[in-house]
Structure 1
Amino acid sequence: MLLTVVVPVYAVEGYLYQCLESIRAGLTAEESASVEVIAVDDASPDGCGEMLDGYAARHGDLRVVHLSHNVGLGLARNAGLAEARGEYVWFVDSDDWLPAGSVRAVLQQLRTGPDLLLIDHLRVQENGRLERDASSGALRDPTLASLIKLQHTAWNRIVRRGLLEELNLRFLPGWYEDVPFSNPVLIAADRVAVLDRVCYHYRVGRLGAITATRSERHFEAFEQYDRMLAWTAERDLEPWLRHALFTLMVNHLLVVLGNDGRVHPRQRRAFFKRLAAHYRRYLPADYPGHPGIKHKLVQARSYAAYATMRQAYRVVKRNPEPSPAVQPVLASAPQPAQTVTIR
């Protein structure tokens, strides 16, 4: 078995069939024999468990794992991984889907024997509009310095299962579970294959999705970065890589902080305070500094200035031609897959 696709499932009745159908769509019998699909029912409160059992009974090529209680996305992925028989594992979220030809393209590249395969994706808005992700350009330069900038999710990287065993790497509980998984697996991989092809459609803004839910649980991102940086601290990483990981952490936490759909306005000051504390705690001694104004405000622990700048930015978004008073505040075609040795 070459590939195991693990699909964690929770409260996605309206999207589940599209996801499952997209995985084997267009595959030949020989190609299908190289792929197994494991769906993990994370004690879904709707009818997803019954839908999975019915799908498995009709098609015979889906293995279903039912969990007795809800454990969350990361631990549900671990449950599927524990049942995997494939040489490689791909974690596909059940509200997303794969465009036609994706699995075939992935299988072809996996046969070259990489430790890790990175793929491109498109963001799908609720109105169906497809958007290219800002980080996708990192795939055009198959070096670690570039690839570390790729969106750090589990679903855009297909991993050799043996590598996960060698690293004893699993998903950890809590929200933002991808943080202590995605960058470590990229850093540890000796052979990285890059498939500059859209192989994943990522649904954004879905009602009920973590990234579209206001909750105190977004503070769990800090614990996940603690875990990731504890992992990197045990390794002899080059200074530039430590700098890059620090910058990525601050950028990501700033995104969470600035998102009205995640952090409630009443909690924004507390989140900023935690971010400033993480900045001081993890700032590399030889960090050359960051030119961005937001980084400087975090470093200075100036929430008042951050809040003023944030409000000014929103005024500009509502008014394409901002007033002079606001102005100063805001002072391609897919290429063939490549395999690179990054260490």
Structure 2
Amino acid sequence: MMDGSMRGLQEQAGAYVKILEQPASKALRFRYECEGRSAGSIPGVNSTPENKTFPTIQIVGYKGKAVVVVSCVTKDPPYRPHPHNLVGKDNCKKGVCTVEVNNENMIATFANLGIQCVKKKDIEEALKVREEIRVDPFRTKFNHKNQPSSIDLNAVRLCFQVFLEGPTPGKFTVPLQPITSEPIYDKKAMADLVICKLSHCSGSVIGGNEIILLCEKVAKEDISVRFFEEKDGIVVWEGFGDFTPTQVHKQVAISFRTPRYRTLEIDQPVHALIQLRRPSDNATSEALPFQITPLDSGRPFFWSLRRSVGQKADYNTFASILQFVQLENPFSSCET
């Protein structure tokens, strides 16, 4: 007769966790505890007003008692414990949700699970609590608690850890491989990207033109300005505006310099496009027209100089001269 420990090992080898319903990626606003209101419930990716769904998992290849521990982990691997807490009406304690599963289909649905965010100054304390209760699904340890800037506070993944009942009744000592959900982004930080106005709608082929872009709210650490050119639906060139997070003003304005085009040798304006892009989820704004102008555009004096320099196949010298002139005499502004 097979003893309980051997049976547990066999069950562990054959059982696994499957996510039946992923959480919606941008449907929930992360709430601070000090806001004094409910953190809401994470909806499922297929949820509608008429048919609400919620994150759901199934334990495959096993029937019997099991415990599911759900916690937040970082968006990017290695999946480290995330300081944000899970809260809910039942079964949530110290930022972690724990439920017992023992039904015919071995399915668990999490209908009252919200995300309560912590401030940057509280990251270390939140992770200390997680360390004390030993919730570290992928055993990555907690060294990151001393590097708060390395943690993206606008995104988490749910991690589902399942423990099967072992040889001793009521003791859940047989762990299955943890599984993570798709990323969940803070709705307030993941608003639609919109360019409201551009100070200039053209720039020189050499780049370096200063432009001010007005937009809907963006996260200064998670935004880029993309320029690109398409031919027959294929991107043949792309470049990015040059700026730092300090040049994002109150989340609604970005001061940046245009990128250099792929070649300086153009005789006619190039019809390119400009858009905002959010690196964390690759979301983009609607692309707007942007003209890339030749070196001689509007400057007859420099046309002869360009030709002279061009004969020597050395555009860099000319480009540096022209760039200085452009900084003194910017292009006229335009509205989108």
Q: TM-score, normalised by structure 2?
A: 0.29
Higher helix content, 1 or 2: 1
Mark the structure with the bigger radius of gyration: 2
Higher relative contact order (CA 8 A, sep 6+): 1
- Considering fraction of residues, name the structure with more strand: 2
